Structure 1
Amino acid sequence: MTSRLPGFYRRPLNERQQVLADTIALTTADRDALASDVPLEPAQADRMIENAIGVFSLPYGIAVNFLVNGRDYLVPMVTEEPSIVAAASHAARLTRDSGGIEADADRSLMTGQIHVVDLPDAEAAAARIRHAAPRLVGTARGLQPRMVARGCGAREVTAAALPDGTLLVHLLVDVGDAMGANAVNTLVEAIAPDVAAVTGGTVNIRIVSNLADRRLARASTAVPEALLHTRERAGGEVACRIARASDLATHSPHRATTHNKGIMNGIDSMAVATGQDWRAVESGAHAYAARSGAYQPLATWQHTDGHLLGHIELPLAVGTVGARITGNPRAGLSLKLLRIDSARELATVMAAVGLAQNLAALRALADEGIQRGHMALHRRSSALPQPATTHEHRT
């Protein structure tokens, strides 16, 4: 399979669906789901959330050209914003022509927090928790034997006294291919009474942390400056301007916020398409960007030795199993289109998409500005209320 589909955007919608079905070898049921006007039945929506009144649709697209770790990926994206899919596909083509994107991801380690209050001596309570940690881990592992059988489950317990005299206990859990929030919440709630007994305090809250800083994904690429040329600027000048824009994001939180928003354009679109908790992904990414005390860019670029070097690192708590995915037919179809069956692989591709999205935005900024291409596509979408021919929409 190849993700290089020349002229894909020029084809009418039904032909794109056919090309995709042939490329991935979709079943008849998959093709029907792809072409369906009602991808999520109201009855399914009613089971997924409370007070459902219907189904809200967003455009479902495919970003092409992605080559990650030497493997081709067709990337499903769900977004209402014009230019995101086109920009990702264009940047992926640039990286593809220079060997693609290299990416990796950590094991799926998530942190659960137990906050203990009403302690006469928090430091002493922390010491007791550290002494009891092996037993607490064993208790947690015993609560989810199927997870442990898959090589996952609770890994460690740590404790730290806080300045206000309270205690924070962390339970680290390998959640495997799940997003993990439900599994971690179940465990911290289950061991909380034992934590209270060990410390002699009162448990205040127990909840997963969405700052998945033990579950990081990274991606990097090296694009020859010659590939970055535009009609108005040589590739070396474009690469230099991109690097300077990247540096600006390290000095200005106002710029870093927009810089990171562009990254999340791609990651969120992919997260929605694959049924992830995209709000958790967002909150974790922005918290990680501020971990030094100053809000920083998640991706950085350097211009050196005739190449533009890009790197991104961020937490990505994503999964390929669970009710959130199985309950939404399009989410399962998206994973099939990606040919992904592990959470770590999904995280690597998401990181690569974020890096490509950032490259596309910075290249546009370094050249003609964001508005020319973005507004051309925006005008195309703004024409939707008035009936238009297929040909008019394509042009």
Structure 2
Amino acid sequence: MTKKFYQETPAGRLDRLALKASLQTFYQERQSTEMPELIENYIADFKLPEGVLPSLILDGQSFSVPMVTEEPSVVAAASNGARLVGLADGFQGKGKSQALLGGEILFLDVDQAVLATFIKDKEERLIEVAKQAKPSMAARGDGLKALAFEVLDDRHSKLAITVQTGLAMGANAVNTILEALKKELEDFAPFIVGAILTNSGQDALVSVEAGVPIEALGGLRAAEKIVALSDFGKVDADRAVTENKGIFNGLSAVVLATGNDYRAVEAAGHAYAARTGRYQSLSEWRLSADRKQLLGRLTMPLNIGLLGGAIAALPMAQRNLELLGNPDLDTLKKVVLATGLANNLAALKAVAGPGIQAGHMRMQARTLAIQAGAVAGEIVLVAEQLSKKNRIDQHEAEKILGELRSHDA
């Protein structure tokens, strides 16, 4: 019997794709022994560069923060922002974050009054069923912490649960508990549309704050412009989208480097940014009462973990946690947020000052040098010359490279 595509080995899949020889060899050379079981239909590893933010001060402790991203200026911006905040007291975590993840059983056209009464009468039984579904979680004090029936409108309603997930992000645990609860609601099965976790994370908010001496920003006027830009992010959704993207530039790079789900983190962040009905920036910057410091704050949901999922299967994720000093989960969350706030500060400072393009183009020059064929030490030399040109494109990079090699010959 012919194997299905997903049943093939990575080499077998490449054979069935009938690729030209050079492309097949390209993929074969990028296969590994660690990755084939992580996804379906694996054919090769797609690599992204990892950089490090060498010193981020959080609650008096210095962290070396791994960042995985393909965008040239992200690590440089994070390092710049962290340096500015480090001139004062560094970043400060606010409160204790909670490892909580929600889930929902969704009902359509059910008799809401009857279902509400059923859930109220059976609450103790439902709690016990949740414990039995994940006994190891319950034994260590985690597991189901709350459940509530919610009417959304005359047709839509849900049973919402909140699960304390411990050191794991907890997606599989929440879904397992939901499936167990669904069986207890068998009488209402015809009205159940689905049972699934929610990534909204409204119960798992994390906050960090930062202060920067206004002299480090170029003085009071420069700090006032950053505050004005921050205010625009509260009243202009178009500005807020771009500001939040800048936050996620840094934040998601750390989430990815630690083997966590950056897509879930970003989805939760954007939902939180729109919680008032108006999409707004996640961060806020203002002047201190004595007008000597620029003060920033970032608050958003953050459901990530230290165990389970891809973390256990990705050696780089494990090593990156070691690079961070193997922090506890609360500390890791605040390091992630602090990195996002550092990127935010650097971007606002650039926009309020010389503009964002100058820094971007300096980093883009390296990419263009590589595309032009520069290797090793040539990359920096070509990038340096290219960044001084009025015209910065691949054609100009190729011209500079040619002149450099001609001179060396």
- Fold shared, TM-score > 0.5 on shorter chain: yes
**Separation in 2, partners of 1:368, 1:205:** 51
Equivalent of 1:213 in 182, 202, 210: 202
The answer on 1:139 being equivalent to 2:117 is: no
CA distance in 2, matches of 1:223, 1:317: 28
Give the number of aligned pairs: 350
Contact 2:88–2:212 (Cα < 8 Å) also in 1: yes
Matches within 5 A, 1:227-242: 227-229=216-218, 235-242=219-226
Q: 1:112 aligns with which of 103, 108, 115?
A: 103
SS in structure 1 of the partner of residue 310 of structure 2: helix
Deviation at 1:46, TM superposition (A): 1.1
Does 2:273 match 1:282?
no
Aligned-partner Cα distance in 2 for 1:94–1:391: 31
With CA pairs under 8 Å and 6+ residues apart, which has the higher RCO, 1 or 2? 1
Aligned-residue offset at 1:74: 0.5
C-alpha distance in structure 2 between counterparts of 1:274 and 1:336, whole Å = 10
In structure 2, runs of 5+ residues without a counterpart are: 1-27, 385-409
Partner of 1:3: none
User: Counterparts of 2:193 and 2:327 in 1: how far apart (Å)?
Assistant: 37
Structure 1: stretches of 5+ with no match in the other structure: 1-37, 230-234
- Aligned partner letter, 2:377: T
Q: 2:343 & 2:281 partners in 1: Cα distance? A: 13
Distance in structure 1 (CA, Å) of the matches to 2:125 and 2:132:
10
Give the alignment's Cα RMSD to 1 decimal.
1.8
SS in 2 for 1:383: helix
Instruction: Render the CA deviation track for 1:26-78: whole Å, top value 9, x for unaligned.
Output: xxxxxxxxxxxx9x962322100000110001111101220001111111000
More deviation, 305-314/147-156? 147-156
Mapped to 2, the partners of 1:149 and 1:128 lie a distance apart of 27
CA contact (8 A) 1:103 1:351 kept: no
Given that 2:178 and 2:195 are in contact with CA atoms closer than 8 Å, whether structure 1 keeps it comes out as: yes
**4+ residue runs over 6 A deviation:** none
CA distance in structure 1 between the partners assigned to 2:224 and 2:304 by the alignment: 34
Q: Which residue of 1 aligns with 2:322?
A: 336
Residue 215 of structure 1 deviates from its aligned partner by 0.6
Measured against aligned partners, the alpha-carbon deviations of 1:300-331 in whole angstroms (never above 9, x if no partner) come to 10023221110010111101101310111111
Kindly state the Cα deviation for residue 150 of structure 1 after the two structures are TM-superposed.
2.2
Match of 2:154, as an amino acid?
A: D
TM-score, normalised with respect to structure 1: 0.85
Which amino acid counterpart does residue 241 of structure 1 have in structure 2? K
* Residue from 351, 355, 366 that aligns with 2:352: 366
Q: Post-superposition shift, 1:164? A: 3.3
Change (3 A) 1:145 1:90: same
Alignment of 1:292 onto 2:294? no
Q: Bigger radius of gyration, 1 or 2?
A: 2
- For 1:114 and 1:106, locate their aligned partners in 2 and report how far apart those are by CA, in whole Å: 26
Question: How many Å separate the matches in 2 of 1:200 and 1:167?
Answer: 14
One-letter amino acid of the counterpart of residue 298, structure 1: L
Larger displacement relative to structure 2 (300-309 or 326-335): 300-309
Where does residue 93 of structure 1 map in the other structure?
A: 83
Given that 2:151 and 2:157 are in contact with CA atoms closer than 8 Å, whether structure 1 keeps it comes out as yes
Q: Percent identity?
A: 38
| In structure 2, C-alpha distance between the alignment counterparts of 1:226 and 1:123, rounded to whole Å | 62
SS in 2 for 1:48: coil
What SS does structure 1 have at the residue aligned with 2:34? helix
Corresponding residue for 2:232? 248
CA distance in 1, matches of 2:184, 2:194: 14
1:380 is matched with which residue? 366
Give the equivalent residue in structure 2 for 1:21. Answer: none
Q: Aligned residue for 1:259?
A: 243
